[in-house]
A and B are shown apart, each in its own frame.
Chain A
Amino acid sequence: MFLAAIAVVVTRSPGWDEFKAYFFDWGYYSESFPEILDAFWVNVKLFGIAEAIILPAALLLAVLRSLPGPVFFPIRALAIAYADLFRGIPTILVIFMLGFGMPALGLDWIPTSQFFWAVVALTLVYTAYVSEVYRAGIESVHPSQDAAARSLGLTRGQSLRHVVLPQAVRRVIPPLLNDFIGLQKDTALVGALGVVEAFRQTQIDQAATFNGTYYLVAATLFVAITIPLARFTDWLVARDRRRQQAGRLA
């Protein structure tokens, strides 16, 4: 209803024909699709590599933050400082600082690839976000679960690994996916370094023809990844719930 109303307003607007020609040109769409798809693989590589590092690194960070007692205070403080810092700085700034800054140091043992520094920047920022998600999950597991595990003679580490973390991670799968989608979208920021990823490619194309259909191509590609992923997560959560509650009476 609401969407229909918007559709009517938009298509009746005075600029609609121009708008349509600018953003919805099928000719440009099909012509540019392979090229932008090629560039999109750079995005896929960016978030694929980054996510593969983020998931374990963030879990480690969350565990370090949950270490109890005064002995671990320095470690906790460092973990908190890291999370505060990298959640606070806009992602684009981190990407700029590392992508332009690190190669400019002129140290020959430091990689100069901007793709490399883009992965590092995204990893640093999203590890901070994702560690908070894990932490919320860890804190949501009732202390009696840990007490039960410890009372059986399991060590702190064993209790964490076999009892607390499996429950914590299951609970935070939906917000983890949320951050993963955020990461995918933020790979478009890397174009600002000059790395030719999907968004950068659309800008190049747009500058050549002054048509905006390329943006639509890039949008299609991003959505084509996130929707299946969202359904997969739903399925994962539902399967888990079914397994634990199967056949439960009433």
Chain B
Amino acid sequence: MSGGAIRVSGLSQTPALEIEKLHKSFGKLEVLRGIDLALAEHEVVCLIGASGSGKSTLLRCINLLEPIDAGRILVHGEEITAPGTDVNRVRRGIGIVFQSFNLFPHMSVLENVTLAPRKARGLSRADAEAAADRLLERFGLAEKRRDYPDRLSGGQQQRVAIVRALAMQPRLLLLDEVTSALDPELIAEVLDVIRELAGSGMTMLIATHEMGFARDVARRVCFLHEGAILEEGPPEQIFTEPREERTRQFLQRIVAAGRL
């Protein structure tokens, strides 16, 4: 157990996620150079930064898809990077949605959503399908339940991917540039889903290039630069009066590209 518990009005609340001095290299390239970050329960934090700044790698490390070189990651107080941790159990509680959807092309929408609840959580087919149908209904995908991913638009595919992650009832959701592979007119429907999730209290760590969205939905924004969190703060501060020169330069490039 870490000593990172936050005291709120007499109640001790364990953070949903704590990252301490996380380092990760691919060969000689050090992608993450000592990341420290904590998320409270129900908090939404956005990671911004240029491509290659380490956003995706950080999310993949939290989901244990990448082994880390040094540091610790704790989820709801449990150190998931400790040796001997059951990675499958940890992953069942942490959802991740990828830029490229990664739906299973040989399965229908319903099969995509029910596979993990059935096989990893041991739900019966009937229970898994009932739960899946409730989620598909909630996100306007009920009519697509029998369709294969190839038939869906990019926006629909990404919403299915989010539903697939939610079907495992994760307490923490990681979103890795989930709108970057989408046509501009399809981005809104996916962002609406994430806004709804934020409203319902889902704890989320979101890597994104959508600055307007980050400003709306995030309680805190972290600017990653060359594998370190260079600056973090409330969105209004980061986007209007960044303290760091690098942050300012990054935001100027974003503005010039018409993304803010």
- Measured CB to CB, the residues of A under 8 A from B are 144-145, 147-155, 158, 162-163, 166-167, 170, 243-248
Contact = CB atoms under 8 A, between A and B. Distances in A.
Q: Give the interface centre of A148, A153, A162, A248 by most chain B CB atoms within 10 Å.
A: A153
B179 interface: no
A29 B49 CA distance: 79
A197 B93 CA distance: 60
A151 B115 contact: no
A163 B65 CA distance: 17
A158 B65 contact: no
B168 interface: yes
State the main secondary structure of chain A at its contact with B.
Answer: helix
Given A151-B65, A154-B119, A244 B150 contact: yes
A101 B157 CA distance: 59
A162 B98 contact: no
A152 B123 CA distance: 14
Interface of B: 63, 65, 88-89, 91-96, 98, 100, 102-106, 115-116, 119-121, 148, 150-151, 164-165, 168
Given A144-B102, A147-B102, A170-B106, A152 B115 contact: yes
A248 B151 contact: yes
B148 A243 contact: yes
Contact of A155 (B88, B104, B121): B88
Nearest to B117: A152
Given A148-B103, A153-B92, 10 more contacts: A147-B102, A151-B91, A151-B94, A152-B116, A153-B93, A154-B119, A162-B115, A162-B119, A170-B106, A245-B150
B100 A154 contact: no
Contacts of B105: 167, 244
Q: Give the interface centre of A150, A152, A154, A244 by most chain B CB atoms within 10 Å.
A: A152
Contact of A244 (B89, B98, B148): B148
Contacts of A166: 106
A145 B120 contact: no
Contacts of B98: 144, 147-148
Contacts of A248: 150-151
Q: Give the interface centre of B94, B100, B106, B165 by most chain A CB atoms within 10 Å.
A: B106
B88 A153 contact: yes
Nearest to B116: A152
Contacts of A152: 91-92, 95, 115-116, 120, 164-165, 168
